[in-house]
Amino acid sequence: MDPFHPSSCEDYVTVEYIDAGEGDGECPTTIMQTCTLQQRKKDWKKTQRLCQHADGCSRFAQGATRLCISHGGGRRCRMDECEKSAVGKSDYCVRHGGGRRCEHDGCTKSARGKSGLCFAHGGGQQKCKYRGCGKIAQRPNNLCTAHGSSSGGGGGGGRQGTYSSSS
């Protein structure tokens, strides 16, 4: 059965067997359609959404294509020879101007997270400024909870050790 054109209920058919009286045992006499149109539509939509790439990919297909993003589905960047996915409502990938841009005056970099700013202007997740620490920093002091706890409950005892002011 073609998952994109469900024209029959062959997966939902039951066959009733009755004794034919001929001595050969039972033979099928009646085929009853037991599936409903609603069930067929539900199953069709489920299989339709999965990527149809030959390798048996289990990710969901994007847009009107039958493929996931990794296998070429969805909208693609309109720049010549670029095969990356288009971002947001634009027709371009991030490298070629697609997606949200930093709100800082004169900056053309991509915005990170919900802040509307690029990484250089404070958007996205910042790393702890404590030297050698790679944990995610908390605002406003740009230190992780272990190195910059203002409540004293972070386990690091405040700003002990070396504090790096470089990004």
- Report whether 86 contacts 79 (CB < 8 A): no
Say how many C-beta atoms besides its own lie within 10 A of residue 73's C-beta: 22
Q: Where are the alpha helices (DSSP H) in 17-120?
A: 37-49
User: pLDDT by residue (tens digit) across 75-104?
Assistant: 889 999 998 888 888 899 988 988 888 999
Judging by DSSP bridges, how do beta strands 26-33 and 13-19 pair with one another?
A: antiparallel
pLDDT band for 144, please (50, 70, 90 cuts): confident
- Report whether 157 contacts 150 (CB < 8 A): no
- pTM comes to 0.43
pLDDT band for 106, please (50, 70, 90 cuts): very high
Nearest to 163 by CA among 137, 136, 132: 132
User: pLDDT by residue (tens digit) across 21-64?
Assistant: 555 555 554 444 555 566 666 665 555 678 888 888 888 888 77
Tell me phi and psi for residue 31, to 5 degrees: -110, 125
Cis peptide before 3 (omega within 30 of 0): no
